[in-house]
Chain A
Amino acid sequence: MSSTDAIEIVSNFILDAPPGEVVVTPSSPRRFSSLTHPYKNSFKTYSQELSPAIEKYNKEQLVTTKLTGSSSLVLVSEFNELGDGRFFDVESQSSFAFDHVSQKASNIQSYVFKSQHSGLIKSLLKPLGTHVLEHYPSYPAYGVYPTSSDSTIALLITGARFSPSNYWNGRWRSVYTFDPSTNELSGEIKVDVHYYEDGNVRLLTTNTLEAVEIPGGSAVEVVKMIAKKEKEYQEKLNDAFGQLSEGAFKSLRRQLPITRQKVDWDKIGSYRLGQQVGLFPTHEHS
């Protein structure tokens, strides 16, 4: 196996990682390097070869960080990427360098973005911020950016919770696109939860918001629709847990046999399988 193939395999592992569990600490890259030690890459070149995957992961996950001097979080995504490892934030009117392994920002500079929709983008920040702080209790972050064509606006929301000592982590991501020329809002919500105490359980959800028209297309109305759709979705998701528990889960395996008693293993040989399973010990049918 070539080292290129090995890097590709490990890169795919990174992209599949649950929230908060990818290469962040100095020890974890060595976890990967021990898997490919036959290729004798030094730690430095190794982490360099994996950096495209780590970068892609962080941008997809909307990973957050703090800018010095600020108490709120900024996120990294494909929408606020400047190239050369730099990202920008609209609210603080700044750009920053982002180290994808340590997830730390540095070299903050002032930055003013350019867009034909800059007025709308700026006016979306306040209502969106209010919504996010009212509904995302842990690591709340949001961003509004022009998309690459500058014809539409991207609105991003994320919240995350990390509890590795309790063996679980989770992240919520909302990514919306608003088209001011049609006043249409569309988007996607993704939830990712991982529980790993004596096991490995993963919840992965995707909800697609098909284009919905925002009459008037004002910032306040856009955020009102986002809030409405997120509430509806979360309520449906909550219901879905109960539906699965009462439905598919129950029909996989009963809690007890129809006799409402545990199996009598001493008499297991005399159970007769048939229409009336569990009525034991039955005599041969006459």
Chain B
Amino acid sequence: MASTDPFDSSLDLLRRLNPKNTTPNLSSLLSLVPDLTEDLLSSVDQPLLLARCAKSSREYLLCDYNRDGDSYRSPWSNEYTPALTDATFPSERLRKMEIAANQAFDVYRELYYEGGVSSVYFWNLDDGFAGVVLLKKSVSSGPKSTGSWDSIHVFEAIDGPRQCHYKLTSTVILNMVSSDEGLGEMDLSGNMTRQVESDLPVEDTPAGSERDHISNIGKLVEEMELKMRNLLQEVYFGKAKDVVADLRSVSALSQTSRDRAVHQEMITSMSKR
């Protein structure tokens, strides 16, 4: 684990620093190791930014996967802002599937998030295609309690004889801030990442394969988000709370060990009967 490779060191460092500061930290890090710019930008998950598509008036999400230079592509209009010559686009057939995927995940978003914004971007590979499904929602209960959820699901779909091999890497960035007279400031923020691989059937017709890909990716993402929501709940509201109890005990420690001794004595005497 004592790797001195700058890329590994950079990732390790960013995993330790305050996750709220990922964007400025990444920027500082890139000024130290500019050779790693492309690698780090594509490996480090940052909170998603929003933009409004001029043509459709709909909002869309910005990430490294719909970026070309300093321009971003809208999933609704398929246009880059600012306009760009020689920009990267998915193939015509892939774009058709991308449109359908955006519609499908728009429904998914409404069902689970009841608000927020979603965007799906695909790109071609030699032996299949890849893409990212993005979801973002922010809430505030008053000015003093805010939360935001960013889902970044990056996948590869590699063609096989009758099946497709899907590989999904999902990151959820979850930030929650609570501030209140008696409590003071409480910031519980961070991100978690999980991966899954699966072989699923895909019909060998244009319409069928489009329908199956969207269904397969949809199911993988949904299943993954279910797992991750539970994991986040466990870590944020279970583990973090447990660690605080390990740092300081509300009840007196001598009382706790006395109680434990009495309890143990009771168990021992009961088992003797």
Show the binding face of A for B, using Cβ within 8 Å. 1, 5-6, 9-10, 12-13, 16-18, 21, 27, 30-37, 133-138, 159-161, 168, 170-172, 189, 191, 193-196, 198-208, 230-238, 240-245, 247-249, 251-259, 262-263, 265-266, 268-269, 271, 273, 277-278
Contacts and interface: CB of A to CB of B under 8 A. Distances in A.
A1 B32 CA distance: 8
Contact of A278 (B3, B106, B111, B185): B111
A18 to B, nearest CB: 6
Nearest 6 CB-CB pairings of A with B = A201-B190, A199-B192, A207-B184, A248-B147, A257-B111, A27-B2
Contacts of B148: 252
Contacts, number: 267
A59 B212 CA distance: 59
Given A137-B249, A172-B248, A201-B191, A36 B15 contact: no
Contacts of A194: 16
A254 B247 contact: no
Given A161-B246, A249-B236, A254 B112 contact: yes
20 contacts: A5-B31, A35-B9, A35-B29, A137-B246, A172-B247, A199-B235, A201-B240, A202-B20, A206-B185, A207-B183, A235-B250, A241-B236, A244-B188, A245-B237, A252-B113, A253-B113, A258-B111, A263-B107, A265-B214, A277-B110
- For A17, A36, A257, the residue with the greatest tally of chain B CB atoms inside 10 Å of its CB is A257
Nearest to B16: A21
Contact of A206 (B184, B192, B250, B254): B184
Contacts of A196: 15-16
A18 B243 CA distance: 14
B139 A252 contact: yes
B243 A135 contact: no
A161 B2 CA distance: 23
Contacts of A256: 112
- For A37, A137, A244, A273, the residue with the greatest tally of chain B CB atoms inside 10 Å of its CB is A244
A252 B147 contact: yes
B118 to A, nearest CB: 12
Dominant secondary structure at the B interface: helix
B219 interface: yes
Contacts of B88: none
Interface string B226-237: 100100110111
Interface string B85-110: 00000000000000010011011101
A204 B187 contact: yes
A239 to B, nearest CB: 8
Given A160-B247, A199-B191, A241-B241, 7 more contacts: A31-B4, A37-B6, A195-B235, A196-B15, A235-B250, A238-B244, A245-B233
B18 interface: yes
A31 B141 contact: no
B189 A34 contact: no
Nearest to A136: B248
Contact of A138 (B33, B107, B246): B246
A91 B167 CA distance: 60
Contacts of B241: 238, 241
A2 B243 CA distance: 41
Contact of A30 (B2, B106, B182, B192): B2
Given A202-B189, A253-B112, A255-B229, A9 B28 contact: yes
A30 B3 CA distance: 9
Given A201-B189, A236-B182, A242 B237 contact: yes
A252 B232 CA distance: 12
Given A208-B184, A240-B183, A252 B4 contact: no
